[in-house]
Structure formats: C-alpha cells, structure tokens
Chains A and B, each alone.
Chain A
Amino acid sequence: MSILTERIRSANASGRKAVIPYLPAGFPDRERFWAEVSALDAGGADVIEIGVPFSDPVADGPVVEAASLECLEHGVTLEWILAELGRRKGAFRAGIVLMGYYNPFLQYGLERLGRDCAAAGVGGLIVPDLPLEESGPLRAALAGTGTECICLVGLNTPPERLAEYARVARGFVYFVSVLGTTGVRESLPEEVLAKLAQVRPAFSVPVALGFGISRPAQVAPFGDLIDAAVVGSALIKRLREGGDGAGFMKDWREGASLG
C-alpha cells in the first residue's frame, strides 16, 4: 500500500480525519521552513504537502502565490528541495508529497525526478496543471518508484472522468472543494456535499478535501464522505501572523477528531 494511503487510513482508524498541511518550500525562509515541517510532523500531521514554487501558479489564490514568489526570491529550487529531503529521509513520520506545476518537474527531467523522489522518500506528486490526458509521461517515469501521481477532481468533473481517474488513482484522490483557486473561504459551496456523494463510491483510495479550508468545523459536515483535509493558505497566514506549525497542528488534531 502507498505510504500516503497507509497514513490516512491509520488516522481514520483512530477515529479522526487525516490532516494534510501545505507549505511552500522555503517559506517563511529557507531555515525556518524545515523547522516548521518538523513541527508539523511532530504535531501529528499525517501527510505533509511541500509546495514547489513556480513563477506562474495558475491554480493558486493570492496567499499561496505571494508565498511561492517569496520562496523563489529566496532561491528555492526543486533540486534544493529534493536534496534537503534526501538528507532528512526517514526523519518524518508523515508521508511527504510535493505539490507543484508541471514545468519545473519537466525541466528537472522526469526520469531523474522519479529516481530522486524515491531517494528522498517522496510519497507522491500533486501536479495541478496535469490533467489525466497529459499525465502519461509523468506516470511512466514514476512507475515502480514508490512515488505516486495524485489525481485531482472537482465539482465539475463529470462521472465518466471520475471513472477514468478512479482507474489510475493511487495514494489518495484530491477533491477540490470550490470552482476556484486556493485560498481561505468563509464557507464551502453546498454542492460539495452532493458531489462528494458521487466521488466517494467512485474511488477505492482515500478522499482528501482541499482548497478554501481554514477551520476544522468546515470539514465536520462531510462526515464519512472525506478521509482527509488539506490546509494551505490558513497555515501560511498563521505563520505570517507570528504563529507556528505546532500550534496549528494542535488545533487541527483536536478539531479533526470531531469529524
């Protein structure tokens, strides 16, 4: 079983939703980033999503975009991320996922990427601008490395496409909660519930809900329809406001056990 599936299922087995914090690599700065990742891990994050910064992040809202661009200014590259992860291999209990746009992965070289992700203990890649039709080369490069290509689906994904994604989904499936970009929202659209009722039975891997989630109470209404929640912009905001990963995880672990 994928380490990502295993981590999420084991959270569920202990009666809570898995918590998947997202942080762009090198945020707030290159040193403190790894300290925060360690704090998130020690605080009980089940999977940690590390953002690979890109100059043109089309699926991101202003908070993630601004943080990513700062990381680029700090000189963060995919090469640096994989090298630093490699040095820390085995240090994290959480599964590690990289989330980034296709071009930096492509320029790194897909085969080299597969090799280095495996060496660095990366459990999966989330590539928001790589729909099913274009994902063949990346899937081929990752095959047999232990790094999975994570699928994203959304409110407007028709049943036929859900079925096609279900055939290739490994690790978990990422359900995008809004027709929109990343960023905190006061409430999630009502259609999420109805769509999840379609998505849940289509997939055998766990379902993670992401985009727009800021408080544990927001995911409570989804009950058994989701297995994990991804939280990005809210964590970035918290770090900007002087908070830290440990406090963030404390709130979420307590909140998520309600669900």
Chain B
Amino acid sequence: MQKGYFGQFGGMFVPELLMPPLLEIEEAMNTIVPSEAFQAEFKALLEDYVGRPSALYRCPNLSKRLGFNLWLKREDLNHTGAHKINNALGQGLLCRHMGKQVLLAETGAGMHGVATATAAAMLGLECVVYMGAEDVSRQSHNVKRMGLLGARIVPIESGTRTLKDAINAALRMWIAEQRTTHYCFGTAAGPHPFPTLVREFQSVIGREAKEQMLRKAGKLPDYVVACVGGGSNAIGAFHEFVPHGEVQLIGVEAAGTGEPGCHHSAPLNLGTPGVLHGAMSMLLQTKDGQIEPSHSIAPGLDYPGVGPEHAGLQASGRARYATVNDSQAYNAFRTLCREEGIIPALESSHAVAWALENVRSIPKKSDVLVCLSGRGDKDMGIIEEFEKNLKG
C-alpha cells in the first residue's frame, strides 16, 4: 500500500509546494519522535505540565443506574481543558527540533488554538491561529485566552467562516511561510503524515486507559467510546485497543438537530468518499464534489470531513461509528453535571450520550470506557442559548 494510507483512505492530496515541508515532517516523525531524547522530553512535559496520567474514573451514580460500569478517561483534567494539549505539545516540541520558530494552527472550537498558543508560549515559539469568523464570535472566551497567551488570531471571512475555511487559510499561509513555520494540525485528519503524527501524540490516552483498566477492573473494557470530529481523541483512545479484537470501538459522530435534511457532522455515517484538506476520506459533499456545510451543537465536531484512519477502521469493520443528535448530547451534558458533578464539553457529551442512549443493548456489568475529551467551560454560551430555545 502507498505511504500514508489506511486501506483506500489517506494520502497526500496537496499542492506540490507543500510536498517538501510534509516530507520533512514525515522524516522528523520517523527519526526525531522515536528518539530517546524526544520521548523523555515529551513524557516529562505530559507529566509535569499537562498533569498526566489523567484519571480514569468510574462513575458511581450512573453505573448504578445504568447497570454497566461507566468509566471516564478524564482528558478534561488536562492543562487547558482538553486532549488537544497532548498533540500541541508534541508538535510544538517537534517544531523546535526542526529548527522552526512559528507554530501555525487552525481552530474551530478554539481548544486546539488555546492548546497551541499554550505550547508556543511555554516553548518560546511564535503562534498564529487561523479561525473562522463565525467561530471567533461563537467562542469568544477561547479567543480571549489565546490573546492572553500571546497568539495572533486571524479571523477568516471566506466560505462558511468555520473550521474548514480556517484549514484552507492555514494551508495557504503555510505554503508561503514553510521555511520558518510548522503547521500544528489540530486533529488526526489532513494530509499524511498528520493523521499518523497526531495519533502518535494522542495514543497516550489509550495507553494509560488500558493500564488503568487492567489495574482497576482487572480486565480490558468491553467498549471504548469517543466522539469524532476530525477524530484525534477517538484515534488516541482506540489505538492501543485495536489489536484486542474483543474490545468494541465506537466512534460517535454529531447528527446535528437530527431532523431529516438538517446539517450535521456525520461523514462516516452519511457522507461519501472524497478528497478534502489533503486526504481521501469520508466527506459531506454534493454529487458534484463540492463540500457541504456541517453543523453540530458542539463546535469541535462541526467539520465536513474526518480523519482517514477512521474511514479505514470503518471499512475494515474494526470500529463502528454511531450518531448522536444535539438534544441527546445536551441531555448527556446535563446528566453528567447533575449526577456526577462533572461538566463535560459538548463534544465529549456526544460520546457519553451514546452510552446513555444504548443502555438497553449494552450487556449488564459491561465495562464501558468513554473518552471525556474535554471540559465544558467553553460551552456556557451555547448551553444558555440552547436552553432559551427549549423554553421559548
């Protein structure tokens, strides 16, 4: 199989001008990342700066009510509030090792932007964040955080003014600034080597979770569940378990409002194969190959594509991908707040919702491990708005 493919998905569909910097990152991924020095530095940062290992928490109240053990991998406890920091620090370190001075990032919900701005500040790098103008206004809290951390935020007015357009703009800037700039791609999508590089940095989630499950439950989980936007927290949670065929891997996509014909963010369930942002994967597109707008109540899931490794895992049958709609995610959000005292990100609430919604088909006493990818502080405005509409 060709380099950077997962079955028929993946590849490097980019302008020739981006091939040299991508090949340079691939080379760095294969030589610098596995080196002892890099791994030691990365590990120390994850421990002392991010606060890893993150807790594995068995929800006592919900487990009792549901009849199966609901385990949460607490990425929400990480510094900056989500799994995104694992990848941003990994790539920030790599940027420094490659001798570049600028970290460029795109962001939708703002979590990857905050994580990259944080890594840049700590590692002494400059940071530029591209963000759709629509997202700048939806996620003003994170925009302020990035500003405090010293990042320059560039609002993107083109297209749908969301994440997909921020990625287009970031790729364009990277073409011009490749000599000084590392593009810190925020999820396990995009051209090779990003899906593999991001998975490498995020697989700490599954590695820790496996060790913690064996210690606390004495066995592997029966299900590993994670929300899928681009797919980085999910692939990070899945990777360690892929060889264990008895562990069911469940990715959860956002079904939007769930009404027929509504915008959603479920390319694995409702999309078709195509090429966007440098990779062949599943896509929301018209029959003519134009990219369709996406929607989710969770800004971090609002993306018309998905990482190619997930498309590959779906095609091979190793992982299953389900959908959860906005109100199911909201209900899960409320449930976790009220019954466990944890305010989850709306993205992560999709994964929790899958477990709550499938209580009938999940065998009693199963161990269900859900990746709680982030915390919900950033989502207060969306929640307020959603509740206003519920009442109105």
Contacts and interface: CB of A to CB of B under 8 A. Distances in A.
| Dominant secondary structure of chain B at its interface with chain A | mixed
A179 B158 contact: no
A134 B17 contact: no
A10 to B, nearest CB: 28
Interface string A130-147: 111110000000000000
A63 interface: no
A58 B171 contact: yes
Contacts of A181: 172, 175-176
A133 B171 contact: no
Interface string A105-122: 111100000000000000
Given A65-B158, A129-B15, A134-B13, A78 B288 contact: yes
Contact of A56 (B17, B168, B179): B168
Given A55-B159, A103-B275, A133-B3, A152 B290 contact: no
Interface string B237-263: 000000000000000000000000000
Given A133-B19, A134-B13, 10 more contacts: A54-B289, A56-B277, A57-B168, A65-B158, A77-B288, A78-B288, A103-B274, A103-B276, A156-B17, A179-B178
Interface of B: 2-3, 11-17, 19-20, 158-159, 164-165, 168, 171-172, 175-176, 178-179, 274-278, 283, 285, 287-291
Nearest to B283: A103
6 contacts: A56-B165, A62-B158, A106-B275, A107-B287, A157-B16, A157-B20
B175 A152 contact: no
A181 B170 CA distance: 12
Interface-central residue, A57, A102, A103, A105, by most chain B CB under 10 Å: A103
B274 A134 contact: no
A178 B274 CA distance: 28
A72 interface: yes
B274 A106 contact: yes
Contacts of A158: 20
Contact of A107 (B171, B176, B288): B288
B12 A133 contact: yes
B319 to A, nearest CB: 25
A255 interface: no
A77 B290 CA distance: 9
Interface string A233-244: 000000000000
Interface in A47-78: 54-59, 61-62, 65, 69, 72, 77-78
Contacts of A104: 288-290
A230 interface: no
A101 B15 CA distance: 10
A129 B13 contact: yes
Query: What interface size band does chain A fall in?
Result: 35 or more
B17 A108 contact: no
A56 B159 contact: yes
Contacts of B283: 103
Nearest to A66: B158
A176 interface: yes
Interface string A160-176: 01000000000000001
Contacts of A57: 168
A171 B179 CA distance: 31
Contact of B289 (A103, A130, A131, A179): A103
A156 B178 CA distance: 10
Given A129-B278, A156-B178, A157-B20, A59 B15 contact: yes
A56 B172 contact: no
A98 B288 CA distance: 16
A104 B165 CA distance: 18
Contacts of A193: none
A8 B17 CA distance: 25
A105 B283 CA distance: 15
A178 B178 CA distance: 12
Given A55-B290, A55-B291, A107 B285 contact: yes
A154 B274 contact: no
Nearest to B165: A56
A129 to B, nearest CB: 5
B274 A107 contact: yes
Nearest to A77: B288
A156 B290 contact: no
A180 B176 contact: yes
A128 interface: yes
A242 to B, nearest CB: 25
B13 A154 contact: no
Given A72-B290, A179-B176, A131 B14 contact: yes
Contacts of A128: 15
B290 to A, nearest CB: 4
A79 B13 CA distance: 23
A254 B13 CA distance: 38
